[in-house]
Structure 1
């Protein structure tokens, strides 16, 4: 059984010399950056009618949160392309959950800037975001057949004071477990955290931390473990080594899996790409996007949006097909803080970060980095992972046989909420 894992680690450091110099611009006022979102709690023990209305509100808000998370993923993919030419894979959901946990500790302009960068400022005016995150997490993890689990840890330095509000809210909405750590003993702290990671990812990531800054006060870590089984498995007896074309001049040999069955597909006439649904059990799907012409796959990324994906899905036709799809494994690690800064989330990484909701003594606290590591392995049984305007779409142009033998994109999403769990690009299946 293969595993898809996403790990995010916002690292908060307490440093002695974080006072801004006089040459730097003064911090923005709360009025300029916008008010922070009130962390409203919903009253418990409501009457049945109010509970139904509350559930309907959370479901509607969940769709908006899902849409914002997916568009965040597409925006990040475009920014990643400027830095990475080869294989890419990350979890928009994992990043959204990690930043959602982090937002519980922020206030003022710092909080408002994160909302804006994540595209959640409008939703936050009408809905309490922590509740939406919590409801979405429960929806995903309570579907046993989906095979998705999510968890969060807060590794806290033994003498670092964290507010009870942050502890309670992070536990309630993100199921965050607080673990005391002595970061001054870096070797012991590293061993403890690697033990937690290895255990929760079932050994798929046995070691994540190579070194720890002894000035660290808190490490927040979110993980997502996805074990999806195909509705129509590929028969291992039919897997054969074949040619995968990297470009017009280069090719590699890869094992291509084969399945014959009923699949949904469409063809985007404007973008000249085939779109194929490979469904998992439990309301999850891998959407494979294959450009008609070799070498055009990078151009697709400029157009990816939730509206485009929805148009593809609404115009699909189910038919009998034969599918050839490569086995592959990816192990990707990214410094997300660089990308978040490009999206306008800068204050949290600066000396002016306001983390007053996290600690009663927030002076000299800032976030040093946000890392994400995602591992995916796709085989015959499934995927298990430890993290322009369209004018014409037709469902009839895809050939009865589709052979994914050139670079392609894949999206793994949950059907009910349309939440984008993982997003990736495979340029060379023989490389991690």
Structure 2
């Protein structure tokens, strides 16, 4: 029985260190991928009707976003050689898709190339993403998931009406205007992130930079109970080998059952289902002789598809550690390496579809958290894209100036810059 192809859900990838064999030859966890284990749900209320031409675009976009996810992961690896790395490609891709709607010219083409959607129309990208957003709103006894968006703009930044309408209609985005000069703006944005991730990610930005005038945010949340929970009485401490060769003891969960499984000379792979099987926790464990470095050389979207399709149901024993991993990374360099450099260039970026003000991407922040225990998995992710405004200043708020104390003044001729008079006035009516 073949493992079903990925449907709506692009993989969320996490890296948890190199693995070693346990007693009996079952290796410890090394690399984890959380993805859909089935196609669209059978509940007709959760299925969105697409135009005929958009149904084909859904398949195109899913494949494109899967490729983007693996490419982003690979671009981040050089700076995380001996660190945990876990990202939500879905969160990043949705946030960039929102940004894509505001770009034009070479900037828009660069974002399309990075997301690998050059052959898909903007309308199809938006409709498929709208369907994905609706499909991911799941709230059952065993699985709870959601994907939500928001737009936060400085109250003085002019926004293109068409862009705002697309964000609200296709991305169900909350659109809010804030006074970015007020210190409460940061707290307001972070509170939205904290609420949408059930408190797992309390903060995505710690300040608003002087030139930033807008943030596009995505938040994704998943909580799933295992189809068969692990028995807590079977959990035992066991050594886990770290990348530097040192061993550290962690609680390892144990379970015997029948799972979708696949192995090659270079790795073992297993799929552990949540609830009714629509979601699963997929583990890919490189062999001790290959290690993660060797596994990365094989890791790409095409191999991922083939590996998951070849999984078959087999009885087996699982031993894996409880997990609690958190990450907060800036994606600027990775996205520039993938071809989006122009979007970050304050002199060349073009976001005329978003605002008439000259704007550029100032930063892309991404934060994630995952917890795995005997009951199941909780995972959260958020992506914040900050836009800076260049050249033209934002309209200034009215001010009040009461000249009721000593002051300095100058009478200047501006054609030549000549200072005709200057002085310090300490008594305006003195003789």
Which TM class, normalised by the smaller chain length? 0.7 to 0.9
Query: Could you tell me whether the CA contact under 8 Å between 2:201 and 2:367 is conserved in 1?
Result: no
Query: Counterpart in 1 of 2:281?
Result: 286
Matched, 1:324 2:319: yes
Q: Provide the residue aligned with 1:218 in structure 2.
A: 214
* 1:191 matches 2:187: yes
Deviations 1:164-201 (A, max 9, x none): 1111101111111111111112x211121122222222
Deviation at 1:115, TM superposition (A): 0.4
Cα gap change, 1:142 to 1:165, in 2 (>3 Å): farther
Name the counterpart of 2:301.
Answer: 306
CA distance 1:248–1:163, change in 2 (3 Å): closer
* Pairing of 1:388-399 with structure 2 (within 5 A): none
> Which of 79, 82, 101 is the matching residue for 1:83?
79
Query: How many Å apart are 1:146 and its aligned residue?
Result: 4.2
2:373 is equivalent to residue 379 of structure 1: yes
Q: Is 1:354 the equivalent of 2:350?
A: yes
| Residue from 79, 82, 89 that aligns with 1:92 | 89
CA contact (8 A) 2:349 2:360 kept: yes
Q: Choose which of 65, 88, 92 in structure 1 pairs with 2:61.
A: 65
Seen in structure 2, the aligned counterparts of structure 1 residues 232 and 60 have a Cα distance that, compared at 3 Å, is farther
Deviation, 1:122, is 2.0
Q: In the alignment, does 2:254 pair up with 1:258?
A: yes
SS at match of 1:159: coil
2:331 matched to 1:336?
yes
Kept in 1, the 8 Å contact 2:201–2:368? The answer is no
| Higher RCO by CA contacts (8 Å cutoff, separation 6 or greater) | 1
Structure 2 distance, partners of 1:97, 1:194, is 19
The aligned counterpart of 1:416 is none
1:117-160 deviation per Cα after TM superposition (whole angstroms, max 9, x unaligned): 111112338x6211121122222225755422011111111111
TM-score with structure 1 setting the length: 0.73
- The alpha carbon displacement at 1:54 in A equals 4.2
**Inter-partner Cα distance in structure 2 for 1:121 and 1:148:** 29
Q: Is the 1:248–1:294 Cα contact (8 Å) retained in structure 2? A: no
Q: SS of the counterpart of 1:79?
A: helix
Unmatched runs of 5 consecutive residues or more in structure 2: 1-11, 13-47, 382-431
In the TM superposition, residue 332 of structure 1 has moved relative to its aligned partner by: 0.7
Contact 1:98 1:222 (8 Å CA) reproduced = yes
2:57–2:124 CA contact under 8 A, matched in 1? no
